[in-house]
Amino acid sequence: MITIAAAADLHLGLDSAGSFKAVLEGLDSSADLLLLAGDLTNYGDPAEARVFTDEIAGFDLPVVTVLGNHDYHAGAESEIRSILEDAGVTVLEGESVSVSCDGGTVAVAGIKGFGGGFAGASAADFGEPEMKQFVAHTKAAAESIESSLSSLEGDVKVALLHYSPIEATLRGERLEIYPFLGSYLLAEAVDRAGADIVLHGHAHTGAERGTTPGGIPVRNVAQPVLGHPYALFRFHRGRLSGDSDQDTADAS
């Protein structure tokens, strides 16, 4: 059995000291690693990243994260990445990592992703240079996560994103902002490469559960959606425990 703890959209600010550390107590006895799907900070201030690293000081589990749009806001994403990595956090942006635990190996491919919308209502790389650049960024993210996943081997394969790959986990958000919350290109990439679960955040008033068109479970682990600090996903022989219909998870 492999147990993954996951969360997103912590939005830690300079006044958040102690808030996340408190909820991590005891997690090392119930999970094998912690995955974070972006927006660790509120405004992308490197000082906020140091708040986060102070929160996980002494935490025993491996921590793997992608950055989110809030972490990019101040243009200091490279410095934030360095701060996190200096604290022992693995930051992925087109890269992958394999984590060994008692139950086997968890292979994680991660990228922030981007927007663009979904089938029937998506942006196209046509017209103004700005629109072409917008769509090109999403296409590059999709190609990157596909490449990373395709090369991974592990008992559990995870696609870790910030933006959503499907509409189902956005339900509850205003339809008008779907194009800014994710892209179907990410789901297509994951389906081609294969994964056991996709984790994302970003959609604070979205839904928790869905699947890609190819049947891969997708979970929105944004804290406002979960209603608690993190979710636990238990895998037995590479499948979510109790997830025979690929649309439920053993999460708490």
Q: What pTM was computed for the model?
A: 0.94
| CATH number (domain holding residue 68) | 3.60.21.10
Is residue 64 helix, strand or coil? strand
Residue 248 maps to a domain: no
Residue 250 maps to a domain: no
Residue 246 maps to a domain: no
Percent of the chain topping pLDDT 70: 96
Q: How many domains does the chain have?
A: 1
Residue 91 maps to a domain: yes
Residue 131 maps to a domain: yes
pLDDT at residue 249 tops 60: no
CB 8 within 8 A of CB 37: yes
Quote the tokens at residue 64. Answer: 């793997």
CA 11, 12, 13 angle in degrees (round to 5)?
Answer: 115
CA distance 187 to 215: 10
CA distance 187 to 19: 33
> pLDDT digit string (tens) for 165-223?
999 999 999 999 999 999 999 999 999 999 999 999 999 999 999 999 999 999 999 99
Residue 249 maps to a domain: no
> pLDDT digit string (tens) for 87-140?
999 999 999 999 999 889 999 999 999 999 999 899 999 999 999 999 999 999
Is residue 193 helix, strand or coil? helix
CA distance 118 to 21: 37
Residue 251 maps to a domain: no
Structural domain of 217: 2-240
Residue 252 maps to a domain: no
Mean pLDDT of the chain: 93
